[in-house]
Amino acid sequence: MPLEIVRDPRELRLRVEDARRDGRRIALVPTMGYLHDGHVALLAEGRRRADLLVLSIFVNPTQFGPNEDLARYPRDLDGDLAHARAAGVDLVFVPEVAAMYPDGYQTYISVRGLEQGLCGASRPGHFAGVASVVAKLFHLAQPHVAVFGEKDYQQLAVLRRMVRDLDFHIELVGVPIVRELDGLARSSRNAYLSTSERVDALSLVRALGRAEALVRGGECDTGRLAAAAREVLAGAASARVDYVELRDAETLETVARIERPTVLALAVFVGKTRLIDNRVLTTTSI
Ligand code: PAF
CA neighbor of 235 nearest in space, from 273, 211, 275, 203: 203
Number of domains the chain is built from: 2
Atom of ligand 1 nearest to the CA of 56: 8
Q: Which amino acid is at 40?
A: V
Tell me which of 175, 198, 229 is where a domain ends.
175
Distance from the alpha carbon of residue 253 to the mean position of ligand 1, in angstroms: 23
| Catalytic-residue membership of 39 | yes
What is the number of alpha carbons within 13 Å of residue 84 lying toward its C-beta? 29
Q: Is 28 exposed, middle or buried (0-12, 13-18, 19+ CB in 10 A)?
A: buried
| Strands of the 145-149 sheet, one edge to the other | 4-6, 91-93, 52-57, 26-31, 145-149, 171-175
Gap between the Cα atoms of 107 and 42, Å rounded: 28
Predicted local confidence at residue 210, as pLDDT: 98
Minimum CA distance residue for ligand 1 atom 3? 31
Minimum CA distance residue for ligand 1 atom 8? 31
Q: Write down the pTM of the prediction.
A: 0.97
Atom of ligand 1 nearest to the CA of 58: 10
Q: What is the pLDDT of residues 73-126, one digit of tens each?
A: 999 999 999 999 999 999 999 999 999 999 999 999 999 999 999 999 999 999
Which domain, by its residues, includes 252? 188-281
Predicted local confidence at residue 2, as pLDDT: 86
Tell me which of 150, 175, 200 is where a domain ends.
175
Distance from the alpha carbon of residue 285 to the mean position of ligand 1, in angstroms: 35
Predicted local confidence at residue 65, as pLDDT: 96
Minimum CA distance residue for ligand 1 atom 6? 31
Catalytic residue among 39, 83, 126, 169: 39
Residues 24 and 159 in one domain: yes
Residues 133 and 225 in one domain: no
Low-confidence ranges of the chain (pLDDT < 50): none
Residues 168 and 192 in one domain: no
Distance from the alpha carbon of residue 276 to the mean position of ligand 1, in angstroms: 14
Residue at 180 is within a domain:
no
Identify the CATH number of the domain in which residue 200 sits.
3.30.1300.10
Q: Which amino acid is at 192?
A: Y
Residues 30 and 142 in one domain: yes
Distance from the alpha carbon of residue 243 to the mean position of ligand 1, in angstroms: 21
Residues 134 and 159 in one domain: yes
Residues 15 and 149 in one domain: yes
DSSP 254: B
Residues 61 and 113 in one domain: yes
Predicted local confidence at residue 152, as pLDDT: 98
Tell me which of 140, 175, 210 is where a domain ends.
175
Q: In terms of C-beta distances under 8 Å and separation of at least 24 residues, what long-range contacts does 74-77 make, across chains too?
A: 74/34, 74/188, 74/189, 74/191, 74/192, 75/33, 75/34, 76/33, 76/34, 77/33
Minimum CA distance residue for ligand 1 atom 9? 130
Residue 237 φ then ψ, to 5°: -60, -40
